[in-house]
Amino acid sequence: MPEGPSILFLKNKLQRFKGKTVSEASGYVEMDKSEIVNLKLIDIETYGKNLLFVFKDFFVSVHLGLFGSMLVNKRKKVNASFALHFGESEINFYVAKTKFYKGKPNDHFNFKTDVLKPEFDEDFVLNELQTNQGDKMIGDVLMDQNIFAGVGNIIRIESLYHAKIHPDSLVKSIPEKKLIFLLKMVVDYSEEFLNLLKTDKVKETAMIYGKMICPKDKSELFIEELGKIKRKTYVCLKCQKLYK
DNA sequence: GGGAATGTTCACTA
DNA sequence: CTAGTGAACATTCC
């Protein structure tokens, strides 16, 4: 269930745990959890689709993959893959992967690429696209977490539709103005996605993701796996231009 | 009940 | 060595 906005949404629910001390860390993930116990949770951050629990000299990332979920002060019947306990309270993760990092998030992640962060740097990403990604298809590049951290299948499909660009368009063939507009659409839609989560209306309000017909010209959508990425892609062949 | 899904990694093959 | 493929994941939703 997680693209970047979903992770940020979860992070926002955890603010009250900031500054609290971990009484127990559990779960079946193999990562060594003993180092976390009795430490104060300094901060909770996100990078793309990763939730980051920051301690003094290290941090732990939690990734939900496709099936993962999080519960606060509730449990499922199955065992948690990772859990942080704070006395009576607890945060439980299911089917989540964790990773232990030394240092600070900034040492490992470039926040300029996180589409939901104030640090997102449009010029940096534009330069990366034009300099190193020119021969690739934009639909593939949008899913590259090193360039568009937090973007998932829904955001890429909706953003390309809003920008009127066909996902198989070569990056180098897309006019710069259109690329800049696409970046804006990605950021704008990611923020809207976050808002839509509050009322659980992401899929309902999507323009073409999960739909059959283009809302604008009522033509049938083209739905297939496009590019090199094995993900279902929705395209309106009339509204979205292919730059070759 | 079955298929598909907002994701990524890793084993395996050519 | 590289690139592609497919499975796996204590799942969940229609």
Structural domains for chain A: 4-108 (3.20.190.10), 111-235 (1.10.8.50)
- Give me the DSSP letters along A87-139: TTEEEEEES-EEEEEES-HHHH--GGGBTTSTT--HHHHHHHHHHH-TTSBHH
Residues 6 or more apart whose Cβ sits within 8 Å of residue A79: A27, A28
Which of the nucleotides in strand B have any atom less than 7 Å away from a protein CB atom? Answer: 4-9
Q: What is the pLDDT of residues A183-206, one digit of tens each?
A: 999 999 999 999 999 999 999 999
* Protein residue ranges contacting nucleic strand C, Cβ under 7 Å: A 28, 65-67, 69, 76, 78-79, 81, 94-95, 228
Residue A191, CB half-sphere, CA atoms under 13 Å: how many?
A: 9
Distance from CA(A107) to C1'(C1), angstroms, rounded: 30
User: Is the CB of residue A150 inside 7 Å of nucleic acid strand B?
Assistant: no
- β-pairing, A43-47 vs A50-54, is antiparallel
Q: Name the pTM for this structure.
A: 0.97
Q: How far apart are CA A238 and CA A214, in angstroms?
A: 9
Distance from CA(A82) to C1'(B10), angstroms, rounded: 21
Q: How would residue A40 be classed by pLDDT, with cut points 50, 70 and 90? A: very high
Q: What is the pLDDT of residues A92-139, one digit of tens each?
A: 999 999 999 999 999 999 999 999 999 999 999 999 999 999 999 999
Question: Which nucleotide has its C1' atom closest to residue A80's CA?
Answer: C10
Closest residue, CA to C1' of C6: A230
Q: How far apart are CA A97 and CA A156, in angstroms?
A: 24
Residue A79, CB half-sphere, CA atoms under 13 Å: how many?
A: 6
User: Is the CB of residue A103 inside 7 Å of nucleic acid strand B?
Assistant: no
Q: How would residue A211 be classed by pLDDT, with cut points 50, 70 and 90? A: very high
Secondary structure tally for chain A: helices H, strands E: 7, 10
Distances (CA, A) of A178 to A63, A156, A166, A239: 32, 15, 12, 14
Closest residue, CA to C1' of C11: A67
Closest residue, CA to C1' of C4: A228
Distance of CA A197 to the CA centre of its chain: 13
Distance from CA(A95) to C1'(B8), angstroms, rounded: 12
State the average pLDDT over residues A33-40: 97
User: Is the CB of residue A48 inside 7 Å of nucleic acid strand B?
Assistant: yes
Burial class (CB in 10 A: 0-12, 13-18, 19+), A222: middle
Question: Which nucleotide has its C1' atom closest to residue A193's CA?
Answer: B6
Which of the nucleotides in strand C have any atom less than 7 Å away from a protein CB atom? Answer: 4, 9-12
